[in-house]
Structure 1
Amino acid sequence: MMRRQTVLAKSAGMEARLTWYNPGETMPVHGHRAHQLSWLLSGEMCETSRGTARELVRISRGIKPAGLPHANLYGPAGALVLALNIEPDAPLCTDLTLPGDWDWSAPSAEISLEIQRILVALHDGAISADLALSDLAGRALEGEGETTGRPAASADRWLNRVREQLRDDPDEPDMQQLAAQAGIHRVHLSRRFTRQYGLPPSLYRLRCKLGRAISGLMQGESAAEAAQAGGFADQAHFTRAARRQTGMTPSHLRALLAA
């Protein structure tokens, strides 16, 4: 199955693309002609550059200067990525010209919400492409938020097992049981998990459910079917979760990324 991609907007040396990558899809080492600001909106991915791998499981913002060699592996539920490409000679790019500058960080809750509002307003035609792209780039270059994307394979084995169960178990995992298997208190488990992956187990579980539902949607399921496959109580719960995390409803995503 081919990945889904659409150009959301173009303006004065900038272009915003929304792409859904297939579950388990890989991209060999490559570089981009333009500078790129990216947001991982849903799903998971691992990006490798210059021998360093970053495993991303939460909403994250990435900066890649033009020509930076990197490779990507997308998670078991795929990944929804918003990319803002900026021509290297655009005046806005001065903060991205340092050699070797490669960064993934977790934007603050305020910036994440603003990005979602900008996307909704752009899709609804309430703001121009020029204004939307300038604001998206400006917020990305704020540099707020902690570094995210822990080194791949750096987690303890028991933490990896907890993550797999949170991601793959169709039923809600018993945190007390998972903690007992690791020989620690469940509060300690939550703290260790959050330090390792950048978000608590409950929010990681919700993010995985959303990733599965969006994956089903991209593979032709109805919104109701995708909601059920993702583990949501109903379509309304799926719709609210998608809008909160990506700024778009399932119907918006399907229309934007129609084959």
Structure 2
Amino acid sequence: MQMTGGGMGRQRRLASGAGLDVRLSWYEPGAHMDRHVHDRHQISWLLAGELRERSAGREFELVDLSRGVKPAGCPHANVYGRSGSLILALNIDPGSDLCDAIPGLDDWRWSTTDGERKAVQDVLAAATMLAEGDPVTDLALADLVAGAHLAPGQTGDAPDPWLSRVRDWLHDDPDAHDLSGLAAAAGVHQVHLSRSFTRHYGLSPSLYRLRCRVSRALADLVGGASLAAAAQTGGFADQAHFTRATRRQTGLTPSHLRSLLAA
């Protein structure tokens, strides 16, 4: 396994035991990971930033909160977001009793649904309590994971070229275009643009714009910037606005994320 074009900026093990290991990782903007395999099953959530993952001739391009499942031994390659990627991963030993409690661990897939947000925030809350020494047992965390529903995967189909261009425009300069301007540049009706974008990427263009701002600000924050400076980099009105947007997206405040990744 080799990282290119950047690397893993920070990683924190939040909890381990009973066949389970939980890690929070920050990947630097533009990082790539060559084709590799894991010796454990993995359930992972993309909390912030973007991710492209390839395996077995298919590719998932993820821009919203998404859950991925990779069986042990599944060959895959990753390209992380242009503003970095924040990923929570649960690594499960193939011989663990948890394998019987979590169906679908033998099928590589990603899914983006509204139900993922509640599931990941429950798991993240329990894991951070463990990391900070609160009296929560590994069994409680395992129960949360075992009870989480694994939604059906997406297809991995490639987007239309015009849709990819719209996403690039929004990512590279979130404040430069309104919906009508984007639709005119893409040559489609703005309602068709909004519906197509939401259907393929799992969130509306306006929410994707906000996600890009959070990711850009987090990259600055993990790089050592102050909360105020990171908020300005992301185009937020103030530090409070940055904090609210990050908590809504990831379940944690910027300062909490910074302290976890600095440990």
Unmatched runs of 5 consecutive residues or more in structure 1: none
Please state if 1:132 is matched with 2:141: yes
Are the counterparts in 1 of residues 171 and 209 from structure 2 also a CA contact under 8 Å? Answer: yes
Where in structure 2 are the equivalents of 1:89-238 lying within 5 Å?
89-94=95-100, 95-96=103-104, 98=106, 101-109=107-115, 111-124=116-129, 125=134, 127-139=136-148, 142-144=149-151, 147-148=153-154, 150-151=156-157, 154-238=158-242
Query: Matched residues, percent identical?
Result: 54
Are the counterparts in 2 of residues 9 and 15 from structure 1 also a CA contact under 8 Å? Answer: yes
Are the counterparts in 2 of residues 15 and 133 from structure 1 also a CA contact under 8 Å? Answer: no
Are the counterparts in 2 of residues 56 and 150 from structure 1 also a CA contact under 8 Å? Answer: no
Q: Deviations over 1:5-49 (max 9, x none)?
A: 010111211010000011110111111111100001110011111
Q: Deviations over 1:211-256 (max 9, x none)?
A: 1111111111111111111111111111111112211111111111
Structure 2 residue aligned with 1:65:
71
CA RMSD of aligned residues (A): 2.0
Query: What CA distance in whole angstroms lies between the structure 2 residues aligned with 1:149 and 1:223?
Result: 38
Q: Secondary structure at the match of 1:113?
A: helix
Query: What CA distance in whole angstroms lies between the structure 1 residues aligned with 2:155 and 2:140?
Result: 30
- Quote how far apart the aligned CAs of 1:184 are: 2.7
Query: What CA distance in whole angstroms lies between the structure 1 residues aligned with 2:64 and 2:73?
Result: 25
Structure 2 residue aligned with 1:22:
28
Tell me which moved more, 120-129 or 233-242.
120-129
Q: Secondary structure at the match of 1:7?
A: strand
Runs of 4+ deviating beyond 6 Å: none
One-letter code aligned to 2:212 = C
Are the counterparts in 1 of residues 174 and 209 from structure 2 also a CA contact under 8 Å? Answer: no
One-letter code aligned to 1:190 = S
Q: Secondary structure at the match of 1:93?
A: helix
Q: Aligned to 1:11, which of 12, 17, 31? A: 17
Q: TM-score, normalised by structure 2?
A: 0.88
- Quote how far apart the aligned CAs of 1:137 are: 4.1
Query: What CA distance in whole angstroms lies between the structure 2 residues aligned with 1:150 and 1:202?
Result: 23
One-letter code aligned to 2:227 = A
Taking structure 1 as reference, are residues 104 and 167 closer, same or farther at Cα in structure 2, changes over 3 Å only?
same
Query: What CA distance in whole angstroms lies between the structure 2 residues aligned with 1:115 and 1:257?
Result: 18
Structure 2 residue aligned with 1:75:
81
Taking structure 1 as reference, are residues 137 and 114 closer, same or farther at Cα in structure 2, changes over 3 Å only?
same
Q: Deviations over 1:38-93 (max 9, x none)?
A: 00111001111112111111111111111111110001001000000011001121
Are the counterparts in 1 of residues 23 and 90 from structure 2 also a CA contact under 8 Å? Answer: yes
- How many residue pairs get matched? 251
